[in-house]
């Protein structure tokens, strides 16, 4: 199922409260420390982090599996003359012509792949990096998916769109199901569209083990947007993984 077939049309509006400049600056701190110049971003969505990193001087190629999200990103790229190269690519099977200095994945991309997909992602990211390169990605923690998101219903209403977002966590499967119903204005009427998203609850230790099997030997895990170690109540974990 294409989880962003309809959501792509209103994604930026629904995510307008996210502080993308802060997110890009946080990643910039790790990228600049590693000396990265050429960056591959996976699961780039509509390019909210992409364009901020490009403005900071990075040479970026950005990929996503969703045709609809890429369409929005490419339209924004042309309008802004940002010069980002967008490609359709599955983050589990990263392909690069020339190796890059950094692979970046922001805002839950890794939550959309299961344990097997995680192993594929870490292995192909390692292969795509130059020696000394860095892999940066975050995950919404199991604590967040299970204790904060589970059972919640979010409603967002804008002038031309409305969204009802229902969340159900399955402890046995370790997954959060997000049932999304969109109402998008078409003329005088509103069209109803439905999508189902599945996010996987990954925990720090198994993720770190997968990274080590892929070849990463220096791995740091932070409470996201800080340089502090995560706590049991951390809602988002940031992984910083070096190809030594």
Fold topology of 144-200: N-terminal domain of TfIIb (2.20.25)
Superfamily of domain 7-141+202-242: Vaccinia Virus protein VP39 (3.40.50.150)
Instruction: Tell me the domain boundaries of the chain.
Output: 7-141+202-242, 144-200
CA 201 to chain centre: 14
Judge contact between 52 and 29, C-beta under 8 A. no
Write the pLDDT tens digit of every residue in 185-212: 889 899 999 999 999 999 999 999 999 9
Q: What is the pTM of this model?
A: 0.94
Write the pLDDT tens digit of every residue in 128-165: 999 999 999 999 999 999 999 999 999 988 888 899 99
Q: What was the pLDDT predicted at 2?
A: 59
Q: What was the pLDDT predicted at 3?
A: 76
Q: What was the pLDDT predicted at 1?
A: 43
Of the candidates 72, 76, 111, which has an alpha carbon nearest to the alpha carbon of residue 91? 111
Facing residues of 183 across strands? Answer: 162, 192
């Amino acid at each position: 199922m294409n989880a962003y077939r309809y959501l792509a049309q209103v994604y930026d509006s629904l995510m307008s409260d996210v502080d993308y400049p802060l997110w890009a600056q946080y990643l910039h701190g790790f990228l600049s420390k590693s000396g990265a110049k050429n960056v591959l971003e996976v699961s780039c969505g509509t390019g909210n982090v992409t364009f901020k990193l490009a403005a900071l001087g990075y040479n970026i190629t950005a990929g996503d599996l969703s045709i609809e999200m890429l369409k929005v990103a490419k339209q924004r790229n042309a309008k802004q003359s940002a010069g980002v190269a967008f490609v359709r690519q599955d983050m589990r099977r990263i392909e690069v012509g020339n190796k890059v200095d950094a692979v970046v994945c922001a805002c839950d991309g890794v939550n959309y792949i299961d344990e097997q997909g995680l192993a594929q992602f870490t292995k192909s990211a390692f292969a795509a990096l130059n020696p000394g390169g860095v892999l940066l990605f975050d995950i919404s923690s199991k604590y967040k998916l299970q204790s904060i998101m589970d059972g919640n219903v979010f409603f967002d209403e804008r002038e031309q769109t409305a969204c009802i977002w229902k969340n159900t966590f399955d402890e046995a499967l370790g997954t959060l199901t997000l049932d999304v119903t969109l109402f998008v204005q078409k003329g005088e009427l509103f069209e109803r569209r439905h999508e189902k998203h599945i996010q996987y609850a990954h925990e720090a230790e198994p993720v770190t083990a997968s990274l080590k099997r892929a070849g990463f030997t220096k791995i740091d895990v932070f409470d996201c947007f800080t340089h502090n170690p995560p706590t049991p109540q951390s809602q988002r974990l940031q992984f910083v993984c070096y190809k030594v």
